[in-house]
Amino acid sequence: MKTAKLTLLAVVCIAPVILVAAVGKKEKKTTPDAVARGKYLVNFGGCNDCHTPLKMTGKGPVPDLSRLLCGHPEDTKLPPPDLKPGPWFAATAGMTAWAGPWGISYAPNLTPDKNTGLGIWTEEMFIKTMRTGRHMGSGREILPPMPWQSVASLTDGDIKAIFAYLQTVPAITNHVPRPVNPKGETFE
Ligand code: HEC
C-alpha cells in the first residue's frame, strides 16, 4: 500500500519534468535552421557591403541583388590605383576592389559556383580560413579590408551556418581577378 502511494507520488513529481522536457524539445524544433541563421549573420555582418557589387541610386549606393555575393565583377575596367601609403586608401564605387599599401584586393565570389566561387570549398576549409586569416585556410595571409577577425569571434556553429547559407545562394559565374602586390605582381 505504502509502495503504491510512493509510486503515485513519484509519477506525479516526474510528470512535470517530462512535460517540460517535451515542450523544450518542441521549442528546439522551431529554432531557425543553420541556413536561416547563416543568412541572418551574413546580412548583419555586412558581407554584402563588399562581396555584392553596389549600384548607385539617387539615395546612394545599394547592393545589386541580381549579383548577390558574386564579388568584384570581372568586366569592370579600372585605371591603375595609387598605392603610396597616405591618408586615404581607395575603393571602387561598387566597393568590390580596394587599393592601399598592401596592393590591390578584390572581394571574391562567395556564391557556390564551382569554378569561380566557393563551390569546391569544404565547411572545414571555411572555418579554418576565418580562424587563421589564411587564404583557403592554409595559404597566404588574407588581405585588407576583409574583416576575418570579426568572423573569427563567432562560434564554430555560427561560422558553419554562414557557410551553409552561402552554399544556398544562386551560383554566379564571375572570375574575380587575383590580388596584386605593391610591385604589380599577382599573389598566387
Ligand atoms: C570591407 C569589405 C569586406 C567585408 C565587409 C567582407 N569581406 Fe570578405 N573579403 C574582402 C576582400 C577584399 C577579400 C579578398 C582578400 C584577399 O584576397 O586576400 C575577402 C575575402 C573573403 C573570403 C575568401 C578568403 C580567402 O581564402 O581568400 C571569404 C570566404 C570572405 N571574404 C567571406 C566574407 C564574409 C562571410 C563576410 C561577412 C561576415 C565578409 N567576407 C565581409 C572584403 C570584405
pLDDT tens-digit readout, 129-176 = 999 999 999 999 999 999 999 999 999 999 999 999 999 999 999 999
Q: Which of 42, 66, 44 is nearest to 54 (CA)?
A: 66
**AA letter at 69:** L
Give me the pLDDT at residue 89, please: 87
Say what the pLDDT of residue 186 is: 94
**Residues flanking ligand 1, CB < 6 Å:** 42, 45-47, 49-51, 98, 105, 107-108, 110, 129, 135-136, 142-143, 145-147, 151, 162, 179
Question: Cell match 581607395: residue?
Answer: 90
The least confident of 39-43, 65-69, 83-87, 111-115 is 83-87
Report how far ligand 1's centroid is from the alpha carbon of 107 (Å). Answer: 6
Residue 166 in contact with residue 110, Cβ under 8 Å? yes
Task: Give the ligand 1 atom nearest the CA of 47.
Answer: 37
Whole-number pLDDT of residue 17: 46
Is the separation of the CB atoms in 146 and 134 below 8 Å? no
**Is 90 exceeded by the pLDDT of residue 7?**
no
pLDDT score at 29: 38
Q: Of all atoms in ligand 1, which is nearest to the CA of residue 126?
A: 29
Q: Is 2 exposed, middle or buried (0-12, 13-18, 19+ CB in 10 A)?
A: exposed
Cell of 30: 522551431
